[in-house]
């Protein structure tokens, strides 16, 4: 009990308590914001360092060799705000194999890029191309997404606006693609997530096509991950499907 009281008295300092919370949140969030990008300053003790060392009951050398402590001494960061706005997902460049069950199980390929961030806003750009080896299926296009919730959220929603060209044995259509995307992040920084996208190509016309895409990805290294997606393509002429398996690179 006495030891717990001593610990609590040590943490009562705002700087100590804030630093302790920062280290815990950084550890469990998986973010690398806490690692400063600058080298420690020269090995001379300033009055600020000496005072901080006294407040924290640490040796001055420890503070001089710790970029984290130096950052906190300069300015106490808003830890929760940084985690909230640090994206929980990453830009992905992919290439893989596609199969088209509704087109005699034809094989094919797909390439694309997902969520190129435009600044620090929730605005991203995506694009894709997919085709069957026998030439019976082809689709390509690009979208702009705007994630309405903070980028660090584990659940996010984005309106989708873009262009899509679709070609099958029964029909061919192209036009504006509008819809919505729901993203569920199970592990931050692209380690694991699931998304569901519903959109309509050329909505309101006699060539309208509905696209429903369910995707999931899991990282196998810091920069590579495997993903799979299932897509349903519904029109007044036919109902088509596609299944894809891809390797994704996260810059």
Residue 237 has pLDDT above 70, yes or no: yes
**Mean pLDDT throughout 68-95?**
79
pLDDT, position 61: 72
Residue 6 has pLDDT above 50, yes or no: no
pLDDT-derived band at 102, boundaries 50, 70, 90: very high
Residue 56 or residue 159, greater confidence? 159
Residue 221 or residue 73, greater confidence? 221
Do 81 and 13 fall within a single domain? yes
Do 187 and 165 fall within a single domain? yes
CATH of the domain at 243: 2.40.160.40
34-42 long-range contacts, CB within 8 A, separation 24+: 34/68, 35/67, 35/68, 36/67, 36/68, 36/70, 36/71, 38/67, 40/64, 40/65, 40/66, 40/67, 40/70, 41/70
Do 230 and 181 fall within a single domain? yes
pLDDT, position 84: 74
Read off the pTM.
0.70
Count of the separate structural domains present in the chain: 2
Residue 14 or residue 222, greater confidence? 222
Do 34 and 97 fall within a single domain? no
Indicate the residue among 85, 107, 140 that finishes a domain.
85
pLDDT, position 179: 98
Do 116 and 138 fall within a single domain? yes
pLDDT, position 49: 60
Q: How far apart are the first and last CA of the chain?
A: 50
pLDDT-derived band at 213, boundaries 50, 70, 90: very high
Residue 169 has pLDDT above 60, yes or no: yes
pLDDT-derived band at 63, boundaries 50, 70, 90: low
**Mean pLDDT throughout 146-150?**
95
Task: Lowest mean pLDDT of 23-37, 73-87, 125-139, name the range.
Answer: 23-37
Do 75 and 163 fall within a single domain? no
Q: Is 60 left (phi over 0), alpha (psi -120 to 50) or beta?
A: alpha
Do 118 and 238 fall within a single domain? yes
Domain with 56 in it: 2-85
Do 67 and 96 fall within a single domain? no
The chain-wide mean pLDDT, for the chain, equals 82
Indicate the residue among 37, 68, 85 that finishes a domain.
85
Do 98 and 76 fall within a single domain? no
pLDDT, position 85: 76
154-160 long-range contacts, CB within 8 A, separation 24+: 154/88, 154/184, 154/185, 154/186, 154/188, 155/182, 155/183, 155/184, 155/185, 156/88, 156/182, 156/183, 156/185, 157/181, 157/182, 157/183, 158/122, 158/124, 158/183, 160/197, 160/199
pLDDT-derived band at 234, boundaries 50, 70, 90: very high
Do 81 and 22 fall within a single domain? yes
Residue 114 or residue 30, greater confidence? 114
HEC secondary structure over 186-226: EECCCCEEEEEEEEEECCCCCCCEEEEEEEEEEECCCCEEE
Do 133 and 65 fall within a single domain? no
Do 232 and 141 fall within a single domain? yes
Residue 49 or residue 234, greater confidence? 234
pLDDT, position 242: 97
189-209 burial by CB neighbour count: b if 16+ within 10 A, else e? bbbbbebebebbbbeeeebeb
Residue 156 or residue 19, greater confidence? 156
Indicate the residue among 51, 85, 119 that finishes a domain.
85
Task: Lowest mean pLDDT of 55-59, 90-94, 158-162, name the range.
Answer: 55-59
Query: Which residues, including other chains, have CB under 8 Å from residue 28's CB and lie 6 or more apart?
Result: none
């Amino acid at each position: 009990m006495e030891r717990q009281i001593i610990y609590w008295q040590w943490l009562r300092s705002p700087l100590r308590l804030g630093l302790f919370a920062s280290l815990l949140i950084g550890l469990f969030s998986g973010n690398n914001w806490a690692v400063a990008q600058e080298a420690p300053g020269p090995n001379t003790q300033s009055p600020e360092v000496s005072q901080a060392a006294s407040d924290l009951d640490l040796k001055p050398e420890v503070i001089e060799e710790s970029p984290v402590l130096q950052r906190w001494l300069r300015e106490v960061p808003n830890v929760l705000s940084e985690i909230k706005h640090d994206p929980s997902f990453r830009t992905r460049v992919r290439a893989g194999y596609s199969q088209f069950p509704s087109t005699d199980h034809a094989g094919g390929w797909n390439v694309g890029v997902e969520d190129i961030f435009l600044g620090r806003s929730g605005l991203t750009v995506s694009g894709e191309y997919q085709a069957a080896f026998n030439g019976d299926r082809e689709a390509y296009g690009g979208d702009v997404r705007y994630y309405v919730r903070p980028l660090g959220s584990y659940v996010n929603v984005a309106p989708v606006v873009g262009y899509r060209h679709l070609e099958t044995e029964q029909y061919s259509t192209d036009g504006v693609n509008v819809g919505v995307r729901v993203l569920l992040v199970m592990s931050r920084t692209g380690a694991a997530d699931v998304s569901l996208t519903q959109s309509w190509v050329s909505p309101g016309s006699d060539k309208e096509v509905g696209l429903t895409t369910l995707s999931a990805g899991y990282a196998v290294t810091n920069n590579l991950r495997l993903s799979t997606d299932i897509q349903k393509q519904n029109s007044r002429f036919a109902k088509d499907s596609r299944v894809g398996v891809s390797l994704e690179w996260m810059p």
